Amino acid sequence: MENQSNQMHQNMHTGNIPQQLNHGAHEVLDVHEVLSGAVGNLNMYSLLRQHVQDQELADIMDRQYKFMQQEYNITLECFKTGQDPSMPTQSYKMNQGNDFIYGLKPSQPKKPIQSVSEMNEETVSGCLLGAMKSSASMKAMAALEATNPVVRRVLADSVPNCIEMAYELSIYQNKNHYYQVPQFTQQDMQQMLNAYGPAQGQMQMPNNNIPH
């Protein structure tokens, strides 16, 4: 045991670090947060699934759960080994279109529920959307701190999937008037769209030959 410890200590000083230890300290802590968050999201989907009667939302939850489970296993595997996972990363594809309904309609103020019996498609989809937004931010931050190239790539590949799943949930909510999207007036929108112009030319370097 002592010889093994000495060998590991020598390897780390010579730069010959074992592949499974090829992680920075900040990376390890961030990936732990990502994995913990993934477990929490999977548990949330399992707990909330029983409160969903609408088949469309049920299908979304089932597809997203299956995809997140696979992505969790891939992340865990490359984190433990420091090498490419046995299965390549995938891209999540939603089944519905991307049309949003714009404008506000009168609705009851939203407020926290008082009992489990109040759980419905609106509250469930809202919880899932919040989880996906948090997951996207967490994975992006972890990818920025990752030193292991494989873990960095897997985390970075996962961020667009979180965005796609959040988008799918927001479209579902919008279609059912749970997630309303206001717009600027046409005049204000035109002003905002034209507030910036294109960048042109090259960066000007200082002329060091100018005499002082």
Residue 23: per-residue pLDDT: 81
pTM: 0.84
pLDDT band at 2 (very low <50, low <70, confident <90, very high): very low
Single-letter code of the amino acid located at 173:
Q
- Please report, in angstroms and rounded to a whole number, the separation of the first and last CA atoms in the chain: 67
Tokens 């979304």, located at residue: 60
Q: Provide the pLDDT for residue 16.
A: 63
Please tell me whether residue 118 adopts helix, strand or coil conformation: helix
Domains of the chain by range and CATH? 20-95+119-177 (1.20.1260.10)
Take residue 177 and report the two structure tokens written for it: 């008037």
CA distances from 195 to 39, 187, 189, 198, 201 (A): 43, 12, 10, 11, 20
**pLDDT band per the 50, 70, 90 thresholds, residue 12:** very low
| Percent of all residues in the chain with a pLDDT value above 70, rounded to a whole number | 88
Q: Spell out the alpha helix ranges (H) of the chain.
A: 2-14, 25-48, 55-81, 121-145, 149-175, 186-193
DSSP secondary-structure letter at 58?
H
pLDDT tier, 97 (very low <50, low <70, confident <90, very high otherwise):
confident
* Residue 23 or residue 161, greater confidence: 161
Q: What is the pLDDT of residues 43-80, one digit of tens each?
A: 999 999 999 999 999 999 999 999 999 999 999 999 99
What tens digit of pLDDT does each residue of 179-191 get?
A: 999 999 999 999 9
pLDDT of residue 22: 73
Residues 161, 67: contact at Cβ < 8 Å? Answer: yes
